[in-house]
Amino acid sequence: MESILGLIGGFNTILEPTVLFYCFIGVFLGTLVGVIPGIGALAAVSLLLPLTYHLNPTVAIITIAGIYYGTQYGGSTASILLNLPGSPSNVITCIDGYPMSKQGRSGVALCMTAIASFVGSMIGVAILLLFSLEIANLGLKFGPAEYFSLMMLGLVMAAAMTSGSILKGFAMVTLGLIIGTIGIDIHSGIPRFHFEIPSLMDGIGLVTLVMGLFGLVEILMSDKFQCREKNNSITFKSMTPTKDDIKRSVYPILRGTAVGSFFGTLPGIGPTIASFSAYSVEKKFSKNSDKLGTGAIEGLVSPEAANNAAVQTAWIPTLMLGIPGDAVMSLMIAVLIIHGIYPGPTMIAQQPEIFWGLIASFIIGNILLLILNIPFIKIWVRLLQIPYHYLYPLILIFISVGVYSVSNNIFDIYIVALIGIVGYFLYADNYQFPPLLLGFVLGPLIEEKLRRSLLISGGDFKIFFESPISAALLATTALIIIFAVIKFIKSGDRRS
């Protein structure tokens, strides 16, 4: 089968010492940063992004991907030991993980989490493989109109799926699209919204935007980690799970993986929603559902398997269709685009080395993580004991220097500060940023597809409805908008 051949080629790429090294670095740094509460996958990837700028595209994306699923692993450690989610998708892990810790079973919890995450990831990767070629074939039928409708769907889903008001999600998407127009318009060569400032001719950089919105705003909003108890040391012996633990975990892991894999493929839905849903599924279907919340192992492994599966399957729409599975995926797309690679149905055919190298790296990376997590847990725990007020100035400097290092431009740092201020006020009003990021990343692409479609059709908007694929996508988009508006009117939007 083609997939197997491709995968073997991918292993060729990843097993080269340099590439393997960077994959390890990515995974290691990801876990490290993921362990720090308050810094989620998004902030972790943003902070570490400048480090990958000077690597070649394959290595860069492998490293960043490693950071991403590394943070999932690391985040669960903080959730279990400190009741502090390392990232939003780890919130559910706290519910049963922390009680297990209090019962003195933290070692077992950590071990089972690692295993559940690994299984979830591997099955997610398998699904990724299965689907890759199918969707790629479908993609050959995509013209500019279809792409436009697909991206619209992605944006609308992202806006609708984030927490908080859906209208605000739409506002953020639009704002992101607008910010994306800053810079030179490729088509006409005219710089837009640059206000005579030379540095703005290239537009606002991705790193700048992301550091400002996710790094700076995070620091502005946070006060402390709220550390409570210090935990006793974890020995190897205390980490082995009992036979009963393993028996009880099998089905939850499988259920969680199924839920996670499904949700991961949907654009706009990511590991967070996946883990929440897995928990509710567990509540309904588990034999021991009454024990959930008191330190039941089912409640721990199911969401963990789910969020890792979701992280892997989120690559399906991201790579195959060019539609981000969630906010971090939009970052990935941006990174690829910066390196000149355009994810989408043609990616497998045009850049197979990168595609298969990436997939092979998922497998290797997850194995690395499994091995990493076990001996390194003590280090992570030590790290967690550093008080927040020592860490945030360091993070601030990392943001400033990181932003500067991208294009050696002082002005970028001023922009970050400005974005931080604006973001702070937006966040205070319950506006969420992931939809903005998606709008920013997809903006130029959507505009180009729109322009091309209308050029072909001579200004006639009917072109978007003439092809069945495009029409179906737009219809789904409209459905989601209608559904969202109805929900909004019904609830009276208490969460204003």
**List of residues contacting other proteins (CB under 8 A):** 51, 165, 167-168, 170-171, 174-175, 177-178, 181, 185, 187-188, 190, 192-193, 216, 219-220, 223-224, 387-390, 392-394, 396-397, 399-401, 404-405, 408, 410, 413-414, 416-417, 420-421, 424-425, 427-430, 447, 450-451, 454-455, 457-461, 488, 493-494, 496
Q: Which is nearer to other proteins, 3 or 457 (CB)?
A: 457
Alpha carbon of 36 to those of 192, 380, 385, 438: distances in Å? 39, 9, 10, 25
Closest distance between other proteins and the C-beta of residue 422, in Å?
9
d(CA 269, CA 203) in angstroms, rounded, equals 28
Closest distance between other proteins and the C-beta of residue 109, in Å?
30
Closest distance between other proteins and the C-beta of residue 417, in Å?
5
Closest distance between other proteins and the C-beta of residue 443, in Å?
8
Q: Which is nearer to other proteins, 174 or 289 (CB)?
A: 174
Closest distance between other proteins and the C-beta of residue 315, in Å?
28
Between β-strands 191-192 and 183-184, what pairing exists: parallel, antiparallel or unpaired? antiparallel
d(CA 261, CA 225) in angstroms, rounded, equals 31
Closest distance between other proteins and the C-beta of residue 124, in Å?
33
Q: Looking at this protein, which amino acid is placed at residue 184? A: I
Q: Which is nearer to other proteins, 135 or 337 (CB)?
A: 337
Q: Is 409 helix (H, G, I), strand (E, B) or coil?
A: coil
Residues of 28-62 as b/e, b for ≥16 C-beta within 10 angstroms? bbbbbbbbbbbbbbbbbbbbbbbbbeebebbbbbb
Closest distance between other proteins and the C-beta of residue 284, in Å?
34
Closest distance between other proteins and the C-beta of residue 454, in Å?
5
Q: Dihedrals φ, ψ of 261, to 5°?
A: -60, -40
Contacts of 304 (CB under 8 A, 6+ apart): 76, 93, 113, 116, 117, 120, 256, 275
Q: Which is nearer to other proteins, 134 or 460 (CB)?
A: 460
Nearest to 151 by CA among 124, 173, 182: 173
d(CA 194, CA 175) in angstroms, rounded, equals 16
Closest distance between other proteins and the C-beta of residue 171, in Å?
5
Which pair of tokens denotes residue 311? 């992280």
Q: Which is nearer to other proteins, 24 or 98 (CB)?
A: 24
Q: How many helices (H) and strands (E) does the chain have?
A: 22, 2
Q: Which is nearer to other proteins, 346 or 409 (CB)?
A: 409
d(CA 168, CA 13) in angstroms, rounded, equals 43
Cβ(106)–Cβ(234) under 8 Å?
yes
Q: Which is nearer to other proteins, 68 or 225 (CB)?
A: 225
Q: Which is nearer to other proteins, 418 or 469 (CB)?
A: 418
Cβ(315)–Cβ(271) under 8 Å?
no
Q: Which is nearer to other proteins, 370 or 391 (CB)?
A: 391
d(CA 488, CA 496) in angstroms, rounded, equals 11
